[in-house]
Amino acid sequence: MTNPLLTSFSLPPFSAIKPEHVVPAVTKALADCRTTVEGVVAHGAPYTWENLCQPLAEADDALGRIFSPVSHLNSVKNSPELREAYEQTLPLLSEYSTWVGQHEGCTTRIATCATAIITPR
């Protein structure tokens, strides 16, 4: 069975999203985000928008494209099964957010990149 949250879509396929799709999709997206963070940190200087910020933004966007429809469904078409799946993802998202926000390599490189972007040559 294909997980509609893990397929490419222009508009969220709300009618195809089932509670059993939620945790696997969010877990995969979070793993992809972690891989991206570790990959860009390992890239090495010089850090630019293209090799640091853009990949991080794209990974964050992919996570949002998966979780936003889930959050919306939880708000407008709540069921015990969906609520349970949604609530299982919240600690995962919180843990990831804490991890990336405190990732010394990531924050240091972003600061370096930001300084390079705003400092006139």
Decide if 36 is inside a domain.
Answer: yes
pLDDT at 88: 98
Decide if 6 is inside a domain.
Answer: no
Decide if 90 is inside a domain.
Answer: yes
* Three-class DSSP labels, 2-68: CCHHHCCCCCCCHHHCCHHHHHHHHHHHHHHHHHHHHHHHHHCCCCCHHHHHHHHHHHHHHHHHHHH
Quote the number of domains for the chain.
1
Domain hosting 54: range is 26-118
Res. 103: pLDDT tops 90: yes
Decide if 88 is inside a domain.
Answer: yes
Residue pLDDT, tens place only, 16-59: 999 999 999 999 999 999 999 999 999 877 888 899 889 999 99
DSSP letters spanning 57-105: HHHHHHHHHHHHHHHHHHHHS--HHHHHHHHHHHHHHHHHHHHHHT-HH
Decide if 30 is inside a domain.
Answer: yes
Decide if 13 is inside a domain.
Answer: no
Res. 120: pLDDT tops 70: no
Decide if 92 is inside a domain.
Answer: yes
pTM: 0.89
Decide if 83 is inside a domain.
Answer: yes
